[in-house]
Structure 1
Amino acid sequence: MLRLGAVSYLNTKPLIHTLAEQLGSKGTLSVDLPSRLASDLAAGRLDVALIPSVEYFRGQGYQIVSDAAIGCRGPVWSVRLLSRVPVPEIRTLALDEGSRTSAAMVQVLLHEMHGLRPSTVPMEIDQTVDDVDADAILMIGDRAMHPASGVYHEIWDLGDRWCRWTELPFVFAMWVARPGVEVTGLSEILESSRDVGIEHFESIAAAHAATHGLTKEDLHRYFAENLHFQLGPGERRGLESFRQRATAIGLVPDLNVTTTAYKRSLGSDNDHDLH
């Protein structure tokens, strides 16, 4: 049986809503933090995992196994930069410790848009923004979706900033297999689970909204308008652009990623229409 792992965040709910059921005897599903999933995949404790895109870049011989993914084509709501100073004056940046991909994303944008390389400090899961001594703070997930306390010069929705700056979608996470894992038939299951989840946004939102301090309507809108769950040609170009940009400033290693296997996993579709 295949051992699958998924991120334990709200944005994964539509992808895994019926996944355990659809896997049946083909595999098992567990949920955990992104960093633990990446470690378990690298160590062989998982065969396939929904991991952050940065962890895919850092892996060796990993293969994207499905076009089910988590991305955005504009404002994402759940990934924000809160700046206490004008953005060009940011010298210290607090990074939500739950984030790896968004941490790289914000550093790429600050560098490219303003020539900044701020020093970084961690923001722990149990800390509030008032506890953090930094010019700017990256917040992700549930706590980024609530109104920010404090006074800020600028608040960025990083999905919106990325898509406007690069004119490409952004991919936060996708299903990846470690080398040597037999995944025949798995993509169809992952994509079917995604499709069922999309059809049931309303019931998924009703089940999870209150426990995250959101209304059902807000969470439904988040799934339907802020997130995109398909790894299409535009997303693949956005993923490759992110890898190149993050590599250029030393956030991910240059692992000879122009290999045939990497190109095949990203696809070779030349369609330039993001929609």
Structure 2
Amino acid sequence: MPELMGAKNTVNAVAMKPRVGAVRYLNTKPLVHGLDDADTPFSLTFDYPSHLADQLALGLLDVALIPSIEYFLGDGYRIITDACIGCLGPVWSVKIFFRTPPEQVRTLALDEGSRTSAALAKILLAERLGVRPQLQALPLGSDMRDCEADAILLIGDRAIHPPAIDAVEVWDLGETWVQWTGLPFVFAMWVARPGIQTEAISQALMHARNGGLDNLQMIAEREAPKHRLTTSECFHYFHDNLHFTLGPQEKAGLKRYYELAAGLDLAPSGRTPIYDDCEIAR
């Protein structure tokens, strides 16, 4: 009987762990380094960014790495750590492929895996060129060569390894944003829904990010073959294309992105970001 009670208590302890969701793309690997350890104070699952946002909104997750646009669409969300996915220039894994010159685009197909990049694409086309194309969904797993839209937004692995699309121009959206605004871009942050105790979670997430940055070469060696990359390509993606710290400039970039999104009715007005006491850890 004591053995059965002990086993039951163990199962309950596991079941009661906070539920955390992380992006399944390559770009998240340095953020989750070592989180498969048994001592991690939460259970971790992986999914597409848009799915994580939906699960957080439904209460199926307590904390998630969600698209930054979804933070401003949520109710009472808090940013709980300075670990994020961002860029200071070209990001490589978020691109628009134009079949016609950008100023002539009438239809835009949006990768269903992300919502921040979709909003960013709309902002850049509208604010820079005055272009507001009709939108089409590009389902996950679809054959993009069958898509007839004037432009196609791809994210993640699909952007890194795009099919043979006849493109007259390609925008790396990280590079386009930084050149236009002079600010970093933040694609995703660790966000908690209301009422969740996050101190232990946030510390674990920052520790994982710090460990990931210290082990980029090892992570690149492990992940590169899974994503049809060389170790060098994978390392430079982590080291040069991505940025993992939400500092003052990144917060300014996030604020600018929100203001532009609200101006195009892509987000509600009057929202102010709520940051937990997440000091810059590096």
Give the TM-score of the pair, scaled to structure 1. 0.91
**Map of 2:187 onto structure 1:** 172
1:33 maps to amino acid: Y
Is contact 2:145-2:163 (8 Å) kept?
Answer: no
Aligned-partner residue type, residue 108 of structure 1: I
Deviation digits for residues 32-57 of structure 1 (CA, Å, limit 9, x no counterpart): 12222112211222111111101111
Letter in 1 for 2:54: S
Report what 1:20 is aligned to. 36
What letter is aligned with 1:20? D
Match of 1:182 in 2: 197
Q: Please give the per-residue CA displacement for 1:70-100, whole angstroms capped at 9, x wherever unaligned.
A: 0000000001111011111001001111121
Query: Which residue identity does 2:85 align to in structure 1?
Result: I
Cα root mean square deviation, aligned: 1.7
Q: Distance in 1 between matches of 2:148 and 2:276?
A: 39
Q: Is 1:247 paired with 2:262?
A: yes
1:202-245 per-position Cα deviation (integer Å, ceiling 9, x unaligned)? 11111111121111110111000000000010111111111110
**1:208 matched residue in structure 2:** 223
Structure 2 counterpart of 1:273:
none
Determine the C-alpha separation between the residues in 2 that align with 1:59 and 1:53.
10
Q: CA deviation at 1:186?
A: 2.7
1:214-233 superposed matches below 5 A: 214-233=229-248
- Tell me the percent identity: 50
Contact 1:50 1:173 in 2 (8 A): yes
Work out whether residues 129 and 149 of structure 1, in 8 Å CA contact, stay in contact via their aligned partners in 2: no
* SS class of match (1:49): strand
Aligned partner of 1:238 in structure 2 is 253
Bigger mean CA deviation after superposition, 40-49 or 50-59 = 40-49
1:113 to 107, 128, 136: 128
Deviant stretches of 4+, over 4 Å: none
- Number of residue-to-residue matches in the alignment: 262
Q: Distance in 1 between matches of 2:91 and 2:202?
A: 25
List aligned pairs for 1:22-41, cutoff 5 A: 24=39, 26-41=41-56
User: What residue is the counterpart of 1:265 in the other structure?
Assistant: 275
Q: Is the 8 A contact 2:32 2:209 kept in 1?
A: yes
Distance in 2 separating the partners of 1:147 and 1:248:
32
Which of 43, 57, 77 is residue 58 of structure 2 equivalent to? 43
Structure 1 contact 240–266 (Cα < 8 Å) conserved: no
Cα gap change, 1:141/1:186 in structure 2, threshold over 3 Å: closer, same or farther?
same
- In structure 2, the residue matched to 1:155 is 170
Q: 1:78 aligns with which of 82, 86, 93?
A: 93
| Distance in 2 separating the partners of 1:136 and 1:28 | 39
Q: Is the 8 A contact 1:68 1:175 kept in 2?
A: yes
Which deviates more from structure 2 when the two are superposed, residues 121-130 or residues 46-55?
A: 121-130
3-state DSSP class of the match of 2:275?
Answer: helix
Which stretch shows the higher mean deviation, 133-142 or 118-127? 118-127
Consecutive unaligned residues of structure 1, counting only runs of 5 or more, are: 270-275
Question: Does residue 132 of structure 1 match 2:147?
Answer: yes
Q: How far is 1:266 from its partner?
A: 8.6
Q: Which amino acid aligns with 2:82?
A: D
* Corresponding position of 2:6: none
Q: Distance in 2 between matches of 1:12 and 1:66?
A: 15
1:236–1:266 contact (8 Å) kept in structure 2: no
Given the superposition, is the C-alpha separation of residues 74 and 240 from structure 1 closer, same or farther in structure 2, using an over 3 Å criterion? same
Measured in 1, the distance between the counterparts of 2:156 and 2:56 equals 23
* Equivalent residue in structure 2 for 1:8, among 24, 30, 39: 24
Matched residue SS, 1:85: coil
- Structure index of larger Rg: 2
Q: Which residue of 2 aligns with 1:272?
A: none
Alignment check: 8 A CA contact 2:48 2:114 kept:
no
Whole-Å Cα distance in 1 between the matches of residues 162 and 42 of structure 2? 40
CA deviations 1:131-182 (Å, max 9, x no partner) are: 1011111111112112551332211111000001011100000100101111
